[in-house]
Amino acid sequence: MIHNERVLVTGGAGFIGTGLARAFAEEAARWVVVDSLLPQVHGQDATPDLPSGVELVRGDVRDVDLLGSVVRDLVPDVVIHLAAETGTGQSLDLPRRHADVNVTGTAALMEALDTTMSLPRRVVLTSSRAVYGEGAWCDSQGRTRTPPGRSPEMLERGEWDYPGLTSLASRAGTTPAAPCNVYGATKLAQEHMLSAWTIARGVSLGAARLQNVYGPGQSPINPYTGITTLFFRLAWQGKSIPVYEDGKIIRDFVLIDDVVRAVGEVARSDQACLVDVGSGVASSIHDAAREIARIAGAPEPTVTGQFRLGDVRSAHVDMEPSQWVLAGTPATGLRSGLTALGEWMRERADA
Ligand SMILES: NC(=O)c1ccc[n+]([C@@H]2O[C@H](COP(=O)([O-])OP(=O)(O)OC[C@H]3O[C@@H](n4cnc5c(N)ncnc54)[C@H](O)[C@@H]3O)[C@@H](O)[C@H]2O)c1
């Protein structure tokens, strides 16, 4: 559905929210965004790129009175919960800020929804790869291991990998959740809270664990998110991109267009689900940096041996069980996705 439905999107003025609005708002009966326009994401003079017809209410997701009045006016059929503090590394330094927005904000949403007589058909949560932490690994005898996060001592010694182990692709429902940073823990809390609430209220929940989303529209100013935009900023300045650890950190980069399509499918469905959304391809950070340097005509990236606490070594997914969310279309390759991002950033800089 979504077609002719009333849709409430928290945090809907951000990267993923504006992508969803461009793709689906026109077919909805109403599309209402509640967003605080966080300066870290939008700058001081926020002008979110939302299509005409979208109703934007500037407000905080923790403000249960404001959310309640929006909910009573709209009576949403679908709620897409995006509002969040998303800084993975930042969450270790500002745990209260992340817990407050992500956990208390989710609780406020549930209380606000309870103030209307008619509950939504569907709640959609964009969860994160961060819930897996280091995920599952395989030892030389083929046994699965789930090591704890890497300690500061390990990283200071330059022990980037777990000796004798090879990382496995994560799978929702199979790979245990074991977050390595506060952000990941809050995203897991959101999953649990919404699962409990939706079951008790008879509402269907679709939770999508997104991998590293990138592409045109990602905040070019937020220093705590979007490694590809950060790399492009350096590369367009003719600088060599610094690559952390030994360059072999693994990520699954998924283009915003593919994520929008997948989240749209999850919103349309009535089936309770917990799915992964990625490209299904494991890429090293060094390879992504090389590709960006090539597109921007910058010098070769430099492997620095620096590290960031709370970063996981390897995050990638097996997309086979979640194929339906991509509606039969393969995910976009990294080279063409990065080219699109590079062009978008160049056009913005020229403008
Ligand atoms: N982008 C990714 O790689 C990625 C990966 C996994 C999960 N996610 C999840 O997807 C969702 C959207 O992420 P995004 O990439 O669009 O991030 P974003 O930062 O571009 O958008 C988040 C939006 O939430 C708003 N917001 C923040 N705090 C708020 C508050 N207290 N009240 C109301 N609005 C608030 C911000 O102003 C922003 O517009 C988040 O829940 C995030 O955890 C994103």
Nearest Cα residue to atom 1 of ligand 1: 213
Task: Find, among 145, 154, 61, the residue nearest to 109 by Cα.
Answer: 61
Between β-strands 302-303 and 242-243, what pairing exists: parallel, antiparallel or unpaired?
parallel
Quick one: pLDDT at residue 294? 97
Tell me the mean pLDDT in the region 103-127.
Answer: 96
> Residue 37 pLDDT > 70, yes or no?
yes
Pocket of ligand 1 (CB under 6 A): 11, 13-17, 35-38, 41-42, 60-62, 82-86, 101, 105, 126, 128, 187, 210, 212-213, 219
Average pLDDT rounded to a whole number, residues 245-255? 97
Q: Separation of 25 CA from ligand 1 center, angstroms?
A: 18
- Residue 1's pLDDT is 61
The mean pLDDT of 296-300, rounded to a whole number, is: 97
Using alpha carbons, select from 16, 9, 36 the residue that is nearest to residue 219.
16
Give the Cα separation of 208 and 330 in Å (integer).
17
Atom of ligand 1 nearest to the CA of 37: 37
Confidence bin at 53 (pLDDT 50/70/90): very high
User: Mean of the pLDDT values across residues 78-91?
Assistant: 93
Q: How far is CA 274 from the centre of its chain?
A: 14
What's the token pair of residue 152?
A: 């500061």
Report the pLDDT averaged over residues 336-347.
Answer: 95
CA-proximal residue: ligand 1, atom 40 (nearest): 82
Pocket residue to mutate for ligand 1, from 10, 15, 228, most atoms within 8 A of Cβ: 15
Tell me the average pLDDT across 235-253. Answer: 97
State residue 117's pLDDT score: 80
- pLDDT tens digit string along 189-218? 999 999 999 999 999 999 999 999 999 999
Contact indicator for 165, 250 with CB cutoff of 8 Å? no
Tell whether pTM > 0.95: yes
pLDDT tens profile 166-189? 999 999 999 999 999 999 999 999
To the nearest whole percent, how much of the chain has pLDDT over 70? 99
pLDDT of residue 328: 82
Model confidence at 139, pLDDT cuts 50, 70, 90, reads very high
Q: Which of 80-89, 194-203, 216-225, 279-288 has the lowest mean pLDDT?
A: 216-225
Residue 350 predicted with pLDDT over 80: no
Say which of 183, 214, 224, 244 is annotated catalytic.
183
Average pLDDT over the chain, rounded to an integer? 95
Q: What percent of the chain has pLDDT over 90?
A: 87
Six-digit token pair at 141? 């005898």
Can you give the length of the chain in residues?
Answer: 351
CB 92 within 8 A of CB 43: no
pLDDT of residue 223: 80
Residue 132 is among the residues annotated as catalytic for this protein: no
